[in-house]
């Protein structure tokens, strides 16, 4: 579904990581870790096609759904309608109810997005990814703002997605249970100059 082949990432004229190679297959997962500023979010953006690698190749043609810190949901719309807007673009409107259920948001379907708490907004953003129907999920810090119960819902949603043949690439500083995930510690892929200092 996704392959990084000797990928180097440069942002603002500075190399963040280099020579990163991994492959995500159907049902697979990769967990990206490392300290703040090391390039976890940049790696997710590379996988989404929002950044180009400075070196190496990224391949894979599976449709992708991206979770970032911005939910991009219309604040004035009720939650279900806000999700349905994006699901229509993905031709996946039938997935909205199941996505709301997966994140325990069904009771909030008629509440305007602007009235949701921080944790509810984060669950809504994850529901948007689920509703997309995309086989490859790219999740940047998905546990931010989640309590332990919501984190359990996220982990269950990921497990369900993988069991149906989907794959996930997760960047997180918060521990997330991802059985048999590829471990990508970006501190092991620092540019040679930084490793030497």
Indicate whether 191 pLDDT > 90.
no
- Given this model, what pLDDT does residue 193 score? 54
User: In the chain, what percentage of residues exceed pLDDT 90?
Assistant: 79
For the chain, how big is the Rg over CA atoms in Å? 17
Domain ranges of the chain: 73-128
Q: What is the pLDDT of residue 194?
A: 52
Q: Which helix (H) or strand (E) holds 156?
A: helix 148-163
List, for residues 7-18, the tens digit of each pLDDT value: 999 998 889 999
172 and 142 Cβ atoms separated by less than 8 Å: yes
**How much is the pTM?**
0.91
| CA angle 154–158–160, rounded 5-degree value | 115
Direct distance between the N- and C-terminal alpha carbons of the chain, in angstroms, rounded to an integer: 36
Residue 112 scores a pLDDT above 80: yes
Give mean pLDDT, residues 70-94.
87
Tokens coding 12: 């603002």
Compute the average pLDDT of residues 115-138.
94
Report the C-alpha gap between 124 and 105 in whole angstroms. Answer: 7
Is the confidence at residue 95, as pLDDT, over 70? Answer: yes
Spatial CB neighbours of 63, under 8 Å, sequence gap ≥ 6: 132, 133, 134, 135, 136
Provide the pLDDT for residue 197: 44
Give the strand pairing for 182-185 and 29-33: parallel
User: In this model, does residue 24 exceed pLDDT 90?
Assistant: yes
């Amino acid at each position: 579904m996704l392959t990084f082949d000797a990928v180097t990432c440069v942002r603002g004229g500075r190399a963040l990581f280099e020579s990163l190679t991994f492959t995500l297959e159907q049902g697979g997962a990769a967990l990206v870790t490392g300290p703040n500023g090391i390039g976890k979010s940049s790696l997710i953006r590379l996988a989404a096609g929002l950044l180009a690698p400075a070196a190496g190749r990224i391949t894979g043609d599976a449709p992708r759904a991206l979770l970032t810190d911005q939910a991009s949901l219309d604040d004035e719309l009720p939650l279900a309608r806000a999700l349905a807007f994006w699901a229509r673009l993905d031709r996946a409107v039938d997935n909205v109810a199941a996505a709301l259920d997966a994140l325990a948001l069904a009771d909030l379907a008629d509440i305007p997005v602007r009235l949701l708490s921080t944790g509810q907004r984060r669950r809504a953003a994850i529901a948007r990814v689920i509703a997309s129907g995309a086989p490859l999920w790219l999740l940047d810090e998905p546990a931010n703002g989640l309590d332990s119960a919501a984190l359990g819902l996220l982990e269950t949603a990921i497990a369900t997605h993988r069991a149906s043949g989907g794959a996930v690439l997760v960047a997180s500083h918060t521990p997330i249970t991802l059985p048999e995930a590829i471990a990508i510690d970006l501190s092991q892929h620092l540019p040679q100059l930084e490793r030497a200092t």
